[in-house]
Amino acid sequence: MQLEYSSNLAFHRPQLSMLSKKGRDRRRGDKLEDVLQELLESHGESWTKEVKDDLPRSFQRHGDLVLLGQNCFSLPLWKKMDQQLWPTVAKGLGAKRLARMSRISSDGFRSPQVTVLLGEHNWVKHVDNGITYEFDVSKCMFSAGNITEKLRVSGFDCRGETVFDLYAGIGYFTLPYLVHTGAAHVHASEWNPHAVEALRKNLVTNRVHDRCTVHQGDNRQVQLCDIADRVNLGLIPSSEDGWPVACRLLKKTTGGLLHIHQNVTSANVVASHAVDDADNSVSGKRADREAWQAWADAAANRIACLLKKLTATTWTTNIQHIEHVKSYAPHVHHVVLDLECRPA
C-alpha cells in the first residue's frame, strides 16, 4: 500500500499586548537603580557604568518572588553591602523574596539550580490566563516564554476529546486543556517527582482534578494505547523519543492530532556587502521558514511510517499548521507542528 502524505502549511506569529507589563518592569528598573545608588553612596562607592551594567537586565516574577538570572551582581563591591543588598534589591523590584537561577541541571528533569537570596520558603504562585500554577522554584522550572503557545492551546475546541500530555511538567499545557478547551479527560505523564507534586496541587487548585489522570514516570513505559484524540508533545529541544508513544496512544479507528514541539536550526545567511541589511533579513526569515517546512515534512513522513508499522494500515498525515513560539538564538527557533493523522 502506498504511503499518503499531504501538506497544507500555515505560519502564524501571535501578537500579544505586553506593553503594560514592560512598562511596569521599566519603572521598577528605574526604582532599583535609585535605591541601589543610595546604598552605594552610603558605603562610599560611586555609581558607574560598570555598576549599572551589572544590574539584572531581565527577571522572572512569580507572585512576591523575583527570580534573577546569573549574570548580575557579580562585582566585588556588592559584597561590601553586607546584609543590606538583597532587601534593597527586593524593595527596588517590589518583591518580598529573591532567588537566583544559575543554570538548568542536566539531570534529565531539567531541574533549575536556584539559590534563595531572601525569604524562607521556595514555593511560588504564578497566574496567567485565568490559571494558577504553584511550584517549588528550586525544584521546577517555569518557562514564561511559552505563554503564546499556552494561549493558543487555550483556544482549541476539544469538547468531548481525550487528550494525552506526554511531558506535563507542573501542568503548563495540561491545565489549559482542562480549564479552557472543554476536553473531556486529560492524561498527564511526568517523570520529575517534584513536578508531579506541583501538578497534583495545581489540578486541585484549578478544580479540574476529577478530569485528569496523572501517570508518574517515563512516558515510554506507559502501557495505554488507542485512547487519545489528541497528543501534546511539549518537550524541547526535541520530543522525538515520544513519537512512537504518541502514535500508539492515538485512536486506531479515527486517529487524531499531534502537537509536536521542536527546536529547529536553519542555515545562517551570510551577509554580503552587495546585499543590504533589509534584503539579508528577508533572506534569513525565508531560510528559517524553509527549515521549519523541511523539518515538518520529515516529521510527518516519519509519523506516517510509525503509524503504519504499528497498525499495519496506511495513514494520511496532514500538516495543519506550524507555530513559531520563540527564538533561542539567530536561526534557532522553538516551533510546534500541528499534525493531523488519520487512517486511510
Q: Residue 154: its pLDDT value, please?
A: 97
Position of cell 478547551? 181
pLDDT score recorded for residue 110 = 53
Q: How far apart are CA 198 and CA 182, in angstroms?
A: 22
CB 83 within 8 A of CB 137: no
Q: Sign of the CA dihedral 284, 282, 8, 149?
A: positive
For residue 90, give its domain range: 33-121
Q: How far apart are CA 163 and CA 232, in angstroms?
A: 8
Q: Is residue 152 part of a domain?
A: yes
Nearest to 227 by CA among 196, 253, 203: 253
- Spatial contact of 285 and 257, defined as CB atoms under 8 Å apart: no
Q: Calculate Rg over the CA atoms of the chain.
A: 23
C-alpha cell, 29: 528598573
Q: What pLDDT shows up at residue 24?
A: 53
Q: Is residue 14 included in any domain, yes or no?
A: no
Residues 233 and 320 in one domain: yes
319 and 174 in a common domain: yes
C-alpha cell, 102: 544559575
Q: Is residue 96 part of a domain?
A: yes
- Whether residue 16 lies inside any domain: the answer is no
Residues 255 and 325 reside in one and the same domain: yes
d(CA 260, CA 258): 6
Angstrom distance (rounded) from CA 144 to CA 128: 10
Per-residue pLDDT of 240-252, as tens digits, reads: 999 999 999 999 9
The answer to whether residue 294 sits within a structural domain is yes
What's the CA gap between 130 and 94, in Å, rounded?
23
For residues 76 and 179, membership in a common domain is answered with: no
**Residue 34 in grid coordinates:** 535609585
pTM exceeds 0.75: yes
User: What is the predicted pLDDT for the residue at 2?
Assistant: 41
For residue 39, give the CATH number of its domain: 3.30.300
The burial of 312, by beta-carbon neighbours within 10 Å (0-12 exposed, 13-18 middle, 19 or more buried), is given as: exposed
Q: How far apart are CA 66 and CA 117, in angstroms?
A: 10
Residue 7 included in any domain: no
C-alpha–C-alpha distance, residues 233 and 292, integer Å: 17
CATH at residue 229: 3.40.50.150
Residues in a beta bridge with 324: 335
Are 241 and 327 in a shared domain? yes
Confirm whether 22 is domain-assigned.
no
Q: Which of 138, 154, 144, 63 is nearest to 99 (CA)?
A: 138
SS (H, E, C) the chain: CCCEEEECCCEECCCCCCHHHHHHHHHHHHHHHHHHHHHHHHCCCCCCHHHHHCCCCCEEEECCEEEECCCCCCCHHHHHHCCCHHHHHHHHHCCCEEEEEEEECCCCCCCEEEEEEECCCCEEEEEECCEEEEEECCCCCCCHHHHHHHHHHHCCCCECCEEEECCCCCCCCHHHHHHHCCECEEEEEECCHHHHHHHHHHHHHCCCHHHEEEEECCHHHCCCCCCECEEEECCCCECHHHHHHHHHHECCCCCEEEEEEEEEECCCCCCCCCCCHHHHHHHHHHHHHHHHHHHHHHHHHHHHHHHHHHHCCCEEEEEEEEEEEEEEECCEEEEEEEEEEEEC
Q: Give the tens place of pLDDT for each residue, 12-52.
A: 444 444 445 545 545 556 899 999 999 999 999 999 999 99
Q: How far apart are the C-alpha atoms of 314 and 58, rounded to whole Å? A: 50
Task: Report how many domains make up the chain.
Answer: 2
Across the chain, which has 344 residues, the per-10-residue mean pLDDT values are 47 44 57 94 93 91 90 92 93 94 58 82 91 92 84 97 97 97 98 96 98 96 95 95 97 97 79 49 84 97 98 97 91 95 96
pLDDT of residue 306: 98
The pLDDT score that the predictor gives to residue 112 is 63
Question: Is the bond preceding residue 193 a cis peptide, omega within 30 degrees?
Answer: no
> Is 190 within a domain?
yes
- With a CB cutoff of 8 Å and minimum separation 6, the contacts of 72 are 54, 55, 56, 57
